[in-house]
Structure 1
Amino acid sequence: MAFNIKNFLFLLVIFNVHLIQLNLADDDYTILYDRVELFNGTGEHFEYKIHNVKKDDAKNIFTVDAMLGIKQDISNDWKVSIEIFKLDESTNEYQSLFALPKFGTCAFMKTIYKKYFYDEISKYSNLPSYDVCPVPQGKYEIKGYPIDMNKFEHLKSFAQPGSYRLDWFMIKDDVAVYGVSIYGQIAEKE
């Protein structure tokens, strides 16, 4: 059976609903951006630089200026890994909540990237279109890309308050060679 993102997300929501121990009132909590960390392995395949990250706490938006250099074409043999973790405050360690199945790069571009990122990020970058695969080597600039944390407010209805981390990695020959970790929180509104 082929992987279907809609079915996976539906099952994921149902699974998380069953894990809930605390029912959050939408008006009492918010999702906040904390920081981003980059992982570049050996630097053999990618180079990157975050020029600027501006937080607007009043609007709950952060804006990113960055550069991503891809040193070789990225074919479908490369895999994309996405996993979400929650901080266990008793051990101060992040525990995995769920992971998407690893996607080939082309499959990722045509599904997740197309549906959730491309329309918005294409206005602020020269990143390739979702229908370009392999992803060509080159230097890609992101300028003034606003990430509105309010768009993720629906997550409050099935997640508990706490600190979270989203990991996104590029994998070649079963080795993570590049990645991004985004840290945030579901917290009580002040």
Structure 2
Amino acid sequence: MGAIFCLTPQVLALSIVLLVTNPAKIGASKKLTIRNLEKFNEDSDELHSHLRIAEDEENWLKVSGQLKTHVEIDNHWKISVKVLKAASPDDDFQEVLKLSKLGVCDAMKTYYKDFFYERIKKYSNAPKPEDCPLPEKDYHLDDFPLDVKIIKKLLTPGYYQIIAKLRKGDDVKLEYRAELEME
């Protein structure tokens, strides 16, 4: 699981949303709708991922998934996440957040350690933040409860695209894209 699992779908609470497999609506004063998720790229010779999110109750999602690595993942593997926003789905999307080419081991020592590890470890076989490079392994996350109230507070009304990529050199090894609507 590690930084790849958490940062290609969880760089912020926002990026985990791109792991969704079916549209979900979360009720409250603001309504978040996950309109689409696509896995655009996956190098199955090096890894395989399967991720899903289901609405559990108001303001809570259950996140589950698997990441199977067939090679060692080190700091030569880079994570990037981009969040774009538009007033409508037909408008031009403008970049509002970008995290570029952060090495997996660097991400594990910072974002993963500071924001994710303690929260996910009882729901997974997540590696410790200092366990990098990551060995070939099957990582899993089972029914992690994600509180989306923070996401709702961060997002203003509009349409969002989230693009997350995992690269090794110039090659994209894994890419997800999600579309969200905040009403």
TM-score range, shorter chain: 0.7 to 0.9
Question: Residue 169 of structure 1: which of 161, 165, 169 is its match?
Answer: 165
Please, which runs of 5 or more residues in structure 1 have no aligned partner?
A: 1-26
- In 2, distance between residues paired with 1:32 and 1:144? 20
Residues 124-135 of structure 1 mapped to structure 2, 5 A cutoff:
124-135=123-134
Query: Which secondary structure state, in structure 1, belongs to the residue aligned with residue 39 of structure 2?
Result: strand
Query: Which secondary structure state, in structure 1, belongs to the residue aligned with residue 165 of structure 2?
Result: strand
- In 2, distance between residues paired with 1:137 and 1:44? 12
Identity percentage of aligned residues: 28
Residue identity matched to 1:104: G
1:147 has 2:150 as partner: no
Please, which runs of 5 or more residues in structure 2 have no aligned partner?
A: 1-27
- In 2, distance between residues paired with 1:182 and 1:109? 23
Judge conservation of contact 1:80–1:168 (CA < 8 Å) in 2.
yes
Q: How far 1:93 sits from its partner (Å)?
A: 5.2
Counterpart in the other structure of 1:29: 30
Query: Which secondary structure state, in structure 2, belongs to the residue aligned with residue 29 of structure 1?
Result: coil
Query: Which secondary structure state, in structure 2, belongs to the residue aligned with residue 73 of structure 1?
Result: coil
- In 1, distance between residues paired with 2:47 and 2:94? 28
- In 1, distance between residues paired with 2:35 and 2:90? 20
Query: Which secondary structure state, in structure 1, belongs to the residue aligned with residue 62 of structure 2?
Result: strand
- In 1, distance between residues paired with 2:173 and 2:96? 23
Judge conservation of contact 2:42–2:48 (CA < 8 Å) in 1.
no
Judge conservation of contact 2:89–2:159 (CA < 8 Å) in 1.
no
Q: How many residues in Structure 1 have an aligned counterpart in Structure 2?
A: 156
- In 2, distance between residues paired with 1:154 and 1:112? 20
Residues 6-85 of structure 1 mapped to structure 2, 5 A cutoff:
29-50=30-51, 52-56=52-56, 58-85=57-84
The two structures, once aligned, show a CA RMSD in angstroms of 2.4
TM-score (norm 1): 0.70
Q: How far 1:122 sits from its partner (Å)?
A: 1.1
Call closer, same or farther: CA 1:74–1:154 in 2, change over 3 Å: same
TM-score (norm 2): 0.73
1:179 has 2:157 as partner: no
Q: How far 1:145 sits from its partner (Å)?
A: 1.0
- In 2, distance between residues paired with 1:117 and 1:82? 16
Who wins on radius of gyration, i.e. which is larger?
A: 1
Residue identity matched to 2:157: P
Judge conservation of contact 1:167–1:182 (CA < 8 Å) in 2.
yes
